[in-house]
A and B are shown apart, each in its own frame.
Chain A
Amino acid sequence: MNSSFRILIKSPKFMFGACMLLAMIGLILIYPLFNRNDPLEMIALAYQPPDSKLLLGSDNFGRDLFLELIYGIRTSLQVGLIAGVFATVIGLVIGLASGYIGGMIDNLLTAITNIFIVIPSFVILILISVSIDSRSSFVTAVIIGITSWPWTARAVRAQTSSLRNRDHVNIAKISGYSTPRIILSEILPYIASYVVMAFVLQTASGILSEASISMLGLGPYNTISLGIIMNWALVFEAPVAGAWWAFIPAAISIAIITFSLYMMNTGMDEIFNPKIRS
């Protein structure tokens, strides 16, 4: 694991993505220390253009958009990470069970996975979001997570069922290992790099999903996320007012975050996949 990390640092793509992401995280952690204002406080007139005091102008309520953006990025990243963790853990457990146990359980779990794949997850996402009244950003993240595990499950299943027949697994069995121990020591290390890559992608798509449902007004309440900023801009007709600063920075932030995650993923893919194949 340590050596994989050392190789990763040498990948320009991975490092580019990671640095961009870290810079973003640094900004959202440090800026609120200097600007202790409440992002929801109204401090100016509506749709003031950017100037030296309001870096990104104000929104329709006269709130500081730069401060809102900082908090929005924070929420969006949190939602993406939580969704990524849920999707990866569920996908991993189902994929491992299905691939390692095989037989009837495999057939059943594969059927369930396929059902989730063919039903558009965005539709489920909207339906669940509509039917739940009190949505915190955590609840939204969990909903996104439990609608996006099937691809991870399917890939983990495929890799596990081919690993299960390898002779080092047989050696572990005849050396008296228990099943949980075999999964932990003989299967997981081989798929770990893949799972990390899937987690990065799930996080990126979690951020996009949150932005999409928030744009539709189905996002979390009582918080600011990048999707919610865009939703406000849409509802209060910022484009008509010519207030580009109310939605372009949020859109660009989403693009930068997902792009940096995709870059990290591509970098990892180039490094790990030849190793897995050989």
Chain B
Amino acid sequence: MKQNDVLIRGEHLTKVFGYGKQKTTAVEDVSFAFHEGEIISIVGESGSGKTTLAKMIMGLLKESSGSIEYMGKPRQLKRHGDRKRYWKNIQAIFQDPFSSFNLFYKVEKLLLDCIKLQGVNLTKEEQLRKMKEACSFVNLKFEELHNKYPFELSGGQMQRLMIARIFMLHPKLLIADEPTSMVDACSRSTILDMLLKLRDENNMTIIFITHDVGLAYYVSDTLYIMEQGKVVERGPAEEVILNPQHPYTQQLISDVPKIHSEWDLA
């Protein structure tokens, strides 16, 4: 995996919110290199700056300092056109599926927007076929859903629709911010399997954000452990889990029961 080209590289990224007394450094001096087809997990407890880092990578938050290189060139996001091109290849699933949907539009619109973003001209039938295909990839029935409003869906259905959206866009890089936080244990493994299937089919790079070291170990090649905005440990998943160097990593691992025994994900 590591022999592949570096897709995106961050150097000394820092994000500071507010100023004066309310100043919080959410992300501090984080550097990374993510390769094509690699699955990376960013692990840390809530408030450690994972979402903030993800939004900087997405270009939704401006970094306070540091820089991001995409495909070997400094990233350009000044103009709307630049951003649109960037988001064709870099996509995300956000933490809270309930707030990811606009309550005023039907589910269908989310998927139609994906077709529009790709800028291809399709006939009505082709559009319909694509949306059906995406829904069946995540085990949903397009016929039952397309006319519904988001508040008529369950959390798991919302989360799976977000994955269907990624399936339609097949980006180079996917950032999945705690994609299983709002679903029950049963849907959890299904969702993880869908993400892994996306990687296998499209050689997608996946950044998987979680507070659960167990899940991270199960899905990823590389682990980044974050504590209070800093990356305290990084490396191949096996190495980090079996031989943790930093006390925070050791504590995270010891908090998980049965880390060395068989995984029971169901």
Contact = CB atoms under 8 A, between A and B. Distances in A.
B104 A171 contact: no
A24 to B, nearest CB: 33
Interface stretch (A109-117, A174-182, A223-231): A174-182
Which size class do A's interface residues fall under? Answer: 10 to 19
Contacts of A168: 99-102
Contacts of A177: 113
Interface in B102-137: 102-105, 110, 113-114, 116-117
Contacts of A185: 102, 104-105
A171 B100 contact: yes
**Residue among A167, A173, A177 with the most chain B CB within 10 A?**
A167
B84 interface: yes
Interface string A141-173: 000000000000000000000000011101111
A180 B264 CA distance: 48
Contact of B104 (A175, A178, A189): A189
A178 B117 contact: no
B117 A167 contact: no
A178 B117 CA distance: 12
A30 B60 CA distance: 57
A167 B96 contact: yes
A64 interface: no
A12 to B, nearest CB: 26
A167 B100 contact: yes
B32 interface: no
B58 A174 contact: yes
A186 interface: yes
Given A168-B100, A170-B60, A176 B92 contact: no
B91 interface: yes
B80 interface: yes
A171 B117 contact: no
A175 B95 CA distance: 17
B70 interface: no
A259 to B, nearest CB: 32
A7 to B, nearest CB: 15
Chain A interface SS verdict (over half)? helix
Given A174-B60, A174-B87, A189-B104, A167 B113 contact: no
Contact of A170 (B90, B94, B110, B114): B94
Interface in A160-214: 166-168, 170-179, 185-186, 189-190
Contacts of A170: 55, 58, 60, 92, 94, 100
B62 to A, nearest CB: 10
Contacts of A166: 99
A173 B117 contact: no
Chain A CB within 10 Å, residue with most, of B55, B60, B102, B114:
B102
A176 B89 CA distance: 12
B94 A167 contact: yes
A176 B92 CA distance: 13
Interface string B53-71: 0010010100000000000
B116 A176 contact: yes
Contact of B114 (A167, A175, A178, A186): A175
Nearest to B177: A167
B100 A176 contact: no
B80 A178 contact: yes
Contacts of B87: 173-176
B94 A171 contact: yes
Which one of B58, B94, B96 has the highest number of Cβ atoms from chain A below 10 Å of its Cβ?
A: B94
A175 B113 contact: yes
B94 A175 contact: no
A174 B80 CA distance: 11
B127 to A, nearest CB: 15
A278 to B, nearest CB: 10
- Residue of B58, B96, B100 with most chain A CB atoms under a 10 A cut-off: B100
A166 B100 CA distance: 7
B114 A174 contact: no
B59 to A, nearest CB: 8
Contacts of B92: 170, 174
B102 A186 contact: yes
Contacts of B90: 174
22 contacts: A167-B95, A170-B55, A170-B58, A170-B92, A171-B100, A171-B101, A171-B102, A171-B110, A173-B60, A173-B83, A173-B87, A174-B58, A174-B90, A174-B91, A175-B116, A176-B87, A176-B113, A177-B113, A179-B80, A186-B102, A189-B104, A190-B104
Closest 8 CB pairs of A and B: A167-B94, A189-B104, A167-B100, A174-B87, A175-B113, A176-B84, A168-B102, A176-B117
Interface of A: 166-168, 170-179, 185-186, 189-190
Given A167-B99, A171-B100, A174-B90, 10 more contacts: A168-B101, A168-B102, A171-B101, A174-B87, A174-B92, A176-B83, A176-B87, A185-B102, A186-B102, A189-B104
